Amino acid sequence: MPAPNIETIAQLAKRRGFVFPSAEIYGGLASSWDYGPLGVEICNNVKRAWWRWMVYERDDIEGIDTAIIMNRLVWKYSGHEDTFSDPLVDCRACKSRLRADKLENHSGLPIEQAIAAGAVKCPNCGSTDLTEPRPFNLMFRTQVGPVAAEDDPSALAYLRPETAQGIFVNFLNVQRTARRKLPFGIAQIGKSFRNEVTPGNFIFRTREFEQMEMEYFVRPGEDERWHDYWIEQCFNWYTGLGLDPKNLRLYEQPPEELAHYSKRTVDIQYRFFPEREQEEKQWDELMGIANRTDFDLRAHSKGPVDAEGKRLNPDSTEDLSYFDEATRERFYPYVIEPAAGVNRSVLAFLMDAYTEKESERGEKRIVLRLHPELAPIKVAVLPLAKNKPEIVRMAKEIKRMLQPAMRTVYDDTAGIGKLYARQDEIGTPYCVTVDHQSLEDEAVTVRDRDTWQQVRVKVAELTEHLKKRLNLKC
């Protein structure tokens, strides 16, 4: 049983220190969130699991970490300055700003004509007095150096809206220094920024977010096969970390939804909105796997010319084509791109792990059945009697013994029933309890989060026992 809705997770996240509204003491900022002590751990765990799977456990992928603020020309030639925008509409009656492509349009007409014909209503006030849609660029503008960009256009820069472009402009740097032959990939994790018109739904869509992207370079003609391969790999990555396949599906983007660079894009969707009546509306994007063709490498190259022989990119100093030694051919590789959001993945993992269970006393208990790899805390050491100094001392020693091997906490601020419930609620796979008996037999009780079953384990064997059961890879 996953969480009934995102709101349930948002409340739990705030109450337990996963996610707080950003700068809440000043009233917050729309769609900005701060990650607390447990939130930073689960985010790091998701990123580590992705990096290990994508980079360490393969033979064909390198990592990179590129700048957030880059030369503006990157965004000129990537097409983002011209086309990275949402169609924006204003309601003249209530002044709300709306995304034209998200408005309910049952007229059968294209959205521009439907608005002009008065067939589209403002979802906030019901008025049909809407402006014509106009493009609104989603990139955050900033300036580099002390002169305002209004006075000196060369000072204009953007916060990157995707990590991918940092990879494309370094394609040859990586290929040469790592001596790579096709096919190979470059992976990056980092923050990106999009000035979304309508962010929302907790951490589902935010203006500042963290991406995990990998660009996989292949020979043209082999792109479709690799595309299918990566769709399957990515789907299995999520289920391998505990997402129920029943709550995942593949979504083929129709031609009108495709980004300007894409030949085909398949989204892995998660059932983020199970409360919605219409089944079709319950799903939204978790990860996108795009075939970007040779669009980006070509666009950033000084080589290509148009029909009149004019260089398409007069600013680039490099040709980003690839020379195949074996076939003596030169060409622009095609690119398959699996792109996921860290924050949105965390939300899916939290929603899917959420379960409610009845305790022996008939109380409702929340248990987060997170995969051990993702759980913020792996083990909690709890003394059964906190007024007994020998028990407390022994419990603290056990905590220190375990902490180099796994994330461990100590807690003695409540009775044992409440301590267990707290750990269940944040997804801690194991609790270790030190009791009176422990002082004599040098053994402790290990309790399982999912079954609530307890076993007695010798302290000398405890680290190995937990390591084996947690089966952590990093």
Interface with Zn ion by CB under 5 A: which residues?
A: 91, 93-94, 122, 124-125, 127
Cβ proximity to Zn ion: between 124 and 454 the closer is 124
Phi-psi domain of 401 (left: phi exceeds 0; alpha: psi -120 through 50; beta: other): alpha
* Residue 340 known to bind ligand: yes
* Residue 236 known to bind ligand: no
* Residue 343 known to bind ligand: yes
Phi-psi domain of 134 (left: phi exceeds 0; alpha: psi -120 through 50; beta: other): beta
Cβ proximity to Zn ion: between 133 and 338 the closer is 133
Least CB distance from residue 95 to Zn ion, whole Å? 7
* Residue 168 known to bind ligand: no
Q: E strands along 305-400, which residues?
A: 322-324, 329-331, 334-341, 354-358, 364-368, 379-383
Cβ proximity to Zn ion: between 127 and 142 the closer is 127
The residue with tokens 């996989």 is 216
Cβ proximity to Zn ion: between 90 and 244 the closer is 90
Q: Which two tokens stand for residue 78?
A: 């990537």
* Residue 275 known to bind ligand: no
* Residue 339 known to bind ligand: yes
Least CB distance from residue 122 to Zn ion, whole Å? 3
Q: How far apart are CA 410 and CA 412, in angstroms?
A: 7
Cβ proximity to Zn ion: between 19 and 103 the closer is 103
Q: How far apart are CA 243 and CA 247, in angstroms?
A: 7
Least CB distance from residue 126 to Zn ion, whole Å? 7
Q: From 384, 380, 351, select the one nearest 368 (Cα to Cα).
A: 351
Least CB distance from residue 199 to Zn ion, whole Å? 19
Cα-based distances in Å from 6 to 9, 21, 205, 271, 347:
5, 15, 12, 10, 8
Burial 75-97, CB ≥16 within 10 A → b, else e: bebbebbeebbbbbbbbeeeeee
Least CB distance from residue 128 to Zn ion, whole Å? 9
Cβ proximity to Zn ion: between 120 and 348 the closer is 120
Burial 394-417, CB ≥16 within 10 A → b, else e: bbeebbeebeeebbbbbbbeeebe
* Residue 425 known to bind ligand: no
Q: Which two tokens stand for residue 409?
A: 């906490």
Cβ proximity to Zn ion: between 121 and 388 the closer is 121
Find the helix or strand (DSSP H, E) in which 217 lies: strand 208-218
Least CB distance from residue 318 to Zn ion, whole Å? 50
Say which residues have a Cβ less than 8 Å from residue 177's Cβ, sequence separation at least 6: none
* Residue 373 known to bind ligand: no
* Residue 276 known to bind ligand: no
Cβ proximity to Zn ion: between 131 and 170 the closer is 131
Find the helix or strand (DSSP H, E) in which 431 lies: strand 430-434
- Pairing relation of β-strands 33-35 and 61-63? unpaired
Q: How far apart are CA 276 and CA 278, in angstroms?
A: 6
Contact 274, 5 (CB under 8 A): yes
Least CB distance from residue 92 to Zn ion, whole Å? 8
Least CB distance from residue 90 to Zn ion, whole Å? 9
* Residue 285 known to bind ligand: yes
* Residue 427 known to bind ligand: no
Least CB distance from residue 93 to Zn ion, whole Å? 5
Cβ proximity to Zn ion: between 91 and 375 the closer is 91
* Residue 451 known to bind ligand: no
Say which residues have a Cβ less than 8 Å from residue 449's Cβ, sequence separation at least 6: 367, 369, 423, 424, 427, 428, 429, 430, 431
Cβ proximity to Zn ion: between 126 and 135 the closer is 126
* Residue 271 known to bind ligand: no
Least CB distance from residue 120 to Zn ion, whole Å? 11
Between helix 416-426 and helix 6-16 the angle, nearest 10°, is 130
- Pairing relation of β-strands 61-63 and 141-143? unpaired
Q: How far apart are CA 199 and CA 177, in angstroms?
A: 40
Binding-site positions for ATP read 194-196, 204-209, 285-286, 341-344
Annotated binding site for substrate: 99, 162, 209-213, 337-341
